[in-house]
Structure 1
């Protein structure tokens, strides 16, 4: 992989995993030292991340990790509401039995906190990849990875979060997909994303680093 891609992937991951929090300032020289590279690949990575609305260039001051607005978070989740059911539908129609059986690895979860975020992301990405549609899967994967930042910021504010309830929703979806039940699977994945919106948005609204307007 080219050096500039390594820097981009590392910096993007650090933002999405909230190692850099929304609102944090960043300097090219500091980032170059962090990733042990020259400033040029850092600058190129930051420009790519600006196009993804993850950072903002501040003239003569450097860069800032974009805050998360409630409206942008809502837009992202509703885009998932459009894309993920389409991926599930494509998987039911076109994926082999072996691919659908491969989802069985997500029927259980043993862990908490950060482990659950990793498990949840892997499950939703697996759904997207099962579609066999590379463009659709790529769009879904980007949305899922960006949604991780919302979850990481909100998770401390979500009271009584029941991971096993969410795993149960995953299991119901896997069952429907393996039965090739288009209607049932569509209902489950849509309800699952709707519940995510109802959990995450109020938690984000309580977080001090969230902004209300359309800043992104």
Structure 2
């Protein structure tokens, strides 16, 4: 039963972050139980966990709703990532074996569409998190990266300045700095990289009708 509950939570969370359930969508336990072919109890448990993560909100006597994206929360998420990801990069440079840093070479190239890029980008930044060797930081950062995917998907139709080739070039520059164990250069690159993401994504979110202006109460 524990495995079943974990599976439903993971699948439901993944569907929310991938915008298969869009921000603002209503959700009912019975519908979700039928969708995932399980009883209502593991669905209810998963929804309660997702509520604690602010991905789902309870609507009394109506069910649940995928939490809309607020500009304030989006900004907070990106700022938290700006604080955490450079720390992971610094830890990796200081402590990771050469073989771990060498494994980042797989991210030097990319080919595909926007959805492929989101997967590639998530895998790259998750690899940076795990390269740190710090499990707590890696877990927190991977969660932020997953939630950032939702921001990009919601904003993608209004996203300006999204050039995969430029972003991959920034990844390559970061990989070079990390493999050379140049801590200051790597810190500068990753901070600029995340800062540029904020400058692209937040204006795009403002142009999207599914976001809300203020934090949910």
Residue equivalent to 1:75: 76
Deviation at 1:160, TM superposition (A): 4.6
Task: Give the aligned CA root-mean-square deviation in angstroms.
Answer: 0.8
Pair 1:195 & 2:203 matched: no
Assess if the C-alpha contact under 8 Å between 2:161 and 2:200 holds in 1.
no
Residue equivalent to 2:112: 111
Deviation at 1:200, TM superposition (A): 0.1
Deviation at 1:95, TM superposition (A): 0.2
Residue equivalent to 1:58: 59
Residue equivalent to 1:102: 103
Q: Structure 2 length normalisation: TM-score?
A: 0.98
Residue equivalent to 2:159: 158
3-state DSSP of counterpart to 1:2: helix
Residue equivalent to 2:127: 126
Residue segments in structure 1 that go unaligned for 5+ positions in a row: none
Residue equivalent to 2:182: 181
Assess if the C-alpha contact under 8 Å between 2:160 and 2:204 holds in 1.
no
Query: C-alpha separation between the residues in 1 aligned to 2:173 and 2:113?
Result: 21
Query: C-alpha separation between the residues in 1 aligned to 2:195 and 2:216?
Result: 23
Residue equivalent to 2:170: 169
Residue equivalent to 1:214: 215
**Deviations along 1:155-179, whole A, 9 cap, x unmatched?**
1111352100000000000000000
Residue equivalent to 1:18: 19
**Deviations along 1:182-204, whole A, 9 cap, x unmatched?**
00000000000000000000000
Residue segments in structure 2 that go unaligned for 5+ positions in a row: none
User: How many residues of Structure 1 are paired with residues of Structure 2 in the alignment?
Assistant: 216
